[in-house]
Amino acid sequence: EIVLTQSPGTLSLSPGERATLSCRASQSVGSTYLAWYQQKPGQAPRLLIYAASSRATGIPDRFSGSKSGADFTLTISSLEPEDFGLYYCQQYGDSPLTFGGGTKVEIK
């Protein structure tokens, strides 16, 4: 099973700041097979990024994803108030499909 380790656990930032979230895989995951989700309290997750860097429909361009070696990164270029919440990465490259433990982005 591929374990996805997300860091940091919590990111305390102010609106307008840049957020950088990391997701490291325990085994190689192709860039095609990595997605990012946002979840707010009491809501279902929302797909942000698929194939490591492709934005899902309706996702603002302040959200971007990238891959470098075994590390995947989600960047929010300038935080809006509605961006605060939990973020999960997910891999499909190997069964079972797994999620990372999440990064909480909170208002500083």
Partner 1 sequence: QVQLQESGPGLVKPSQTLSLTCTVSGGSISNGGYYWSWIRQHPGKGLEWIGYIYYSGNTYYNPSLKSRVTISVDTSNNQFSLRLTSVTAADTAMYYCARTGIASRSYFGMDVWGQGTTVTVSS
Binding-site ranges for partner 1 (CB under 8 A): 1, 32-35, 37, 43-47, 49-51, 56-57, 88, 90, 92, 95-102
In whole angstroms, give the CA distance from residue 102 to residue 88.
5
Least distance CB 15 / partner 1 (angstroms): 26
Query: Cβ of residue 54: shortest distance to partner 1, in angstroms?
Result: 8
Report the nearest approach of partner 1 to the CB of residue 16 (Å). Answer: 28
Non-local CB neighbours of 24 within 8 Å, separated by 6+ positions: 4, 5, 6, 7, 70, 71, 72
- Beta carbon nearer to partner 1, 24 or 92: 92
CB atoms inside a 10 Å sphere around CB 2? 17
